Amino acid sequence: MITHRKAKDRGHADFGWLDSHHSFSFGQYYDPEFMGFGALRVINDDRVAGGGGFDTHGHKDMEIVSYVLDGALAHRDSLGSGSVIRPGDVQLMSAGTGIRHSEFNASKTDPVHFLQIWIIPERQGLKPGYAEQHFPEADRLGRFRLIASPDGRAGSLKIHQDAAIHAALLEAGADLAQPLDARRRYWLQVAKGALDVNGEAVMEGDGLAIVKEESLSLAAKSKSEILLFDLQ
């Protein structure tokens, strides 16, 4: 069964410096039918104007993944970590018992577009941690590349949950077949582009909740970037 979460139906917040769309309930946006999907709690599609950003604030007991689509995102945290991530870079912050951080557009003029993803950890009270990894475009082109997993296999980031995240890039006209485990649930997020998934037309910002399915058949109508979440 596949449930289509259309981009136009997401929550929306516009603060001038930040234009954000929420796939699930977040902040002032509340939808009891979309409180998350398994351990996947937040997918925020964020665009931050040049010079804008999130001042230092705290998180606790959450696995937070930042996936940059365009531009550059600067990060600083209370662990002493600091870097600038760009397309192809994936950042994972395990908030655990508590961490404070800031996120800013690294450019004073150009916007940055990224997905902020929150996953509920397997247990509370974990030691806070930070990691990042670059996944070249060639590794994601025409196939799903594992970018986060419970055991950090295949060079992926280690996440504290029985969940995995895969990323793929498809050129216009490309097809991709992906086997699934029908005992698990999946969420597919279209970060860019437009494609057909098992005959369902989806576009940028759309999400698909997938349960009891054995495979996905993807056909890209335009150059597309997608994330696939494998969940309990």
pLDDT reported for residue 82:
83
Contacts of 153 (CB under 8 A, 6+ apart): 146
pTM of the model: 0.95
Q: Domain locations in the chain? A: 2-231
Residue with tokens 């980031």: 157
Decide if pLDDT at 79 tops 90.
Answer: no
pLDDT for 165-214, tens place per residue?
999 999 999 999 999 999 999 999 999 999 999 999 999 999 999 999 99
pLDDT reported for residue 139:
96
Burial readout 57-92 (b: 16 or more C-beta within 10 A, e: otherwise): eebebbbbbbbbbebbbbbebeeebeeebebbbbbb
pLDDT reported for residue 226:
98
pLDDT reported for residue 7:
98
pLDDT reported for residue 2:
96
| DSSP bridge pairs for 114 | 46, 68
Band of residue 75 on the pLDDT scale cut at 50, 70, 90: confident
Percent of the chain topping pLDDT 70: 100
Decide if pLDDT at 54 tops 90.
Answer: no
Residue that wins the pLDDT comparison between 219 and 78: 219
Q: Which CATH superfamily is domain 2-231 in?
A: Jelly Rolls (2.60.120.10)
Contacts of 51 (CB under 8 A, 6+ apart): 17, 105, 107, 108, 109
Q: Among 133, 138, 147, which Cα is nearest to 169's?
A: 138
